[in-house]
Chain A
Amino acid sequence: MQSVLRQFVLSGEDSSLPELVLKLPGSAFAVSDASRSATVRRLWLDTFDWRLFRSGLTLEQVSRGGTADLVLTGRDGQVIAADHRLPPADGRNGGRSRPAWPGLLDTLPLGPLRDHLGPVVGVRALLPVARAVSVLREARVLNSDDKTIARITVDRMSVTYPEAGSVPPRLAVSALRGYQAQALRVADLLAAEPGITEASQSGLEAALAAAGRRPGDYTGKVDVRLTPRMPAAVAMTTVLTSLFDTLLVNVNGTVRDIDTEFLHDLRVAVRRTRSALKLTGDVLPGDMAARFRPEFKWLGDLTTPTRDLDVYLLGYPDMAAGLVAATPGELQPFHAHLERSRAAAHRQLARGLRSARFSRLSREWRHALDTATAAGTRPGATRTTVARLAASRIGRAHRRVLRDGGAITATSPPESLHELRKRCKELRYLLEFFGSLYDPGQHWQAVRELKALQDCLGEFQDMQVQHEEIQVFAAQMMEQRTAPATTLLAMGEIAAGLATRQHHARSEFAGRFRDFASPAGQNRIRALTGAAAA
């Protein structure tokens, strides 16, 4: 096993191995003139939201000849786990074939690689983020016994995806096991040479840079930089444009059904857009808000059935494992019913996202945003600053949460908690839209208690919805004659479990709301918005 110790970038096209050989004289080492050359195809994988990159991990599939290696490395380039010698992609290996990308984690065999990836990747699919072809030329560094102690590899890489591009030649020094100290001396000798500089980017970063991208360039969070004195209309157009970009980049993954989180992020972008139009739409020009609110409602409704079934299916393993009287096997027909329903719902959703109505919405919304941006930057377009807008709208949403939440008693109907949940979401979204105006520490404090309240209300509402849905599913399965009595009994047990969890959430509500509505909690939100508005 060898590990990459240091990487360098070679400047000048004429840098080649024979010259490097000449660059080591005077040392106790020699470079073997019998260098090996190979062409390898490289494919880097990550989730759409860069979970591996954000955790300091790099997953690379390196193919040469008919085989490939899948290697996970850490920040220092050390190999953490690997699966070697994957069979050909065409399945010529006793019927087994190499995983196809994009793919979920369960396409990987059980083993250390999957164990390491599991907690980081979660439910997201791994998909290609860059592809390149590398011509590698490798020379061995020998000590005075003619024993190999290190390898020097020159990598001439041409990027083929996401865009074609070329990368300056890179040079890596790898140590053979037991020869780390000597290999480090070789790396020091090379580092002292002109035309050789320490690489500041990993192979993936260099490949992406050549293609005009950078890792970590997607986040599902509201990613805008606002300044307090920015005109309110300009700020809201900036927020809405960012949300629309997020919505659009998730459409393809949703239609192709790569993983469940594309739809999740798309839905969140739609909900945030609807809240922005509802709560701050009056600062936008003309009837922009009123015109688009029904269309975004349509889009939101279009995505609901698939997401509800996704939530059911994602929670299914835990539900099945939690059965006491029934067995997971007895619940299997329910799982099959969920899968069938989900497939049908997704077909509807994909049709909607490919429809003329969605295309028109996208086109007209983009046009409206561009027009509003242009109008907002005209001198004297509006006198309200975003800091004032934020203070007034966050203040209003906050007061509504306090009022509605304070009115809830032990006998209040479930609908009142559902309504409060919506008000909390509106407050949360406002805090996110305007988050860049505030001190990050104070902002985090303000969101924390709201989040705890939201989690409780979310659990209550989810259990309510799932409880109602399971009764609908049972009726459907009875009608379709796909529900054996044992399955219905198992579903009854699930329904009882949902009711218990809902009761639990209900009993926790009062405490959570008390924390949120405490004088200290109230002051935190007032202090946050007040400072920026002043």
Chain B
Amino acid sequence: MKIFATYNIKGGVGKTATAVNLSYLAAREGYRTLLWDLDAQAAATFLFRVRPRVKGGGKGLIRGTRSVDDAIKATDFDRLDLLPSDFTYRNLDLLLDAAKKPARRLGSLLAPLGAEYDVVFLDCPPGISLLSESVLRAADTLLVPLIPTTLSVRTLDQLTEFVADLNGHRPTILAFFSMSDRRKRLHKEISEQLPEQRSDVAATAIPAMSMIERMSVERAPVTAFAPRSLAARRYEELWREVRERAGLPDPKPDDAW
């Protein structure tokens, strides 16, 4: 089971759009996929038309009084399940703080799902908190959407330093440009130069497009409702790059024979 987390300290950079589309593409390729919407805003949950409610709330999950298994909902897409958001997730930091080994709690909740899923995506709220630390400990790869500005690059450096200072397990960081506007000279320059200079920045950039914004109207991944659109093709390229860099094996069922 490979765990990917879409994460950035900043909000509004395309984390949810990335998690929703990449998880859909993974499932479409044959990977048994779970997306956990950790953000109390419940955007990913909304996009899959699932009600943002988990019995027992975040407290039940973190304390282990409610099973993660029971909270999972199937999406409308084969092999793609969702662990929905709940409004109580806004208190996840406090709940984790009260738990034993809080930084490892998310990983231990996900471990029993290893036989059921090949790929897990964690869609994280912005910020640096105890929850982020727990995500960093659990994830194999951190997918970091960046708006191509100088400040964003600085944020990536800060994150890289933070991860380097962690003891024990450290996720691989893979940043990529998101909401990139090629009409802006700075966007164009940064998104062309940086992938050449830094190995932790993906070659694929996701453009800013109204089609991606339409996801909230269609309530589905753009890769599902407009599979031939430029946006969908870019997400496919990004998924290919992510999958190869993570060394994800071919979907299991093909290996069965």
Contacts and interface: CB of A to CB of B under 8 A. Distances in A.
Contacts of B256: 83-86, 109, 111
A178 interface: yes
A1 B74 contact: yes
B51 A145 contact: yes
B76 interface: yes
B102 interface: no
Interface string A42-68: 000000000000000000000000000
Interface string B218-257: 0100000000000000000000000000000000011011
A93 B254 CA distance: 9
A179 B257 contact: no
B30 A179 contact: no
Interface string A225-255: 0000000000000000000000000000000
B43 to A, nearest CB: 15
A82 to B, nearest CB: 9
A176 interface: yes
B74 A179 contact: yes
Given A147-B76, A178-B71, 7 more contacts: A83-B257, A109-B256, A145-B50, A147-B48, A177-B72, A177-B74, A177-B81
Nearest to B77: A148
Interface residues of B, number: 16
A147 B49 contact: yes
- Main secondary structure on B side of the interface with A: loop
A140 B76 contact: yes
- Output the residue of B51, B219, B254 with the most chain A CB within 10 A: B254
A145 B46 CA distance: 10
Given A1-B74, A177-B74, A146 B49 contact: yes
A396 B4 CA distance: 79
A87 interface: yes
15 contacts: A2-B74, A85-B254, A86-B256, A86-B257, A93-B254, A140-B76, A145-B49, A146-B49, A146-B219, A147-B48, A177-B72, A177-B73, A178-B71, A178-B72, A179-B73
Contacts of A140: 76
A84 B78 CA distance: 13
Interface string A328-345: 000000000000000000
A66 to B, nearest CB: 12
Interface string A98-120: 10000000000101000000000
Nearest to A2: B74
A96 interface: yes
Contact of B73 (A98, A109, A146, A178): A178
B74 A176 contact: yes
Interface in B1-58: 30, 48-51
A147 B72 contact: no
A183 to B, nearest CB: 11
Contact of A84 (B49, B72, B74, B253): B253
Interface centre among B48, B76, B81 (most CB of A within 10 A): B76
Nearest to A93: B257
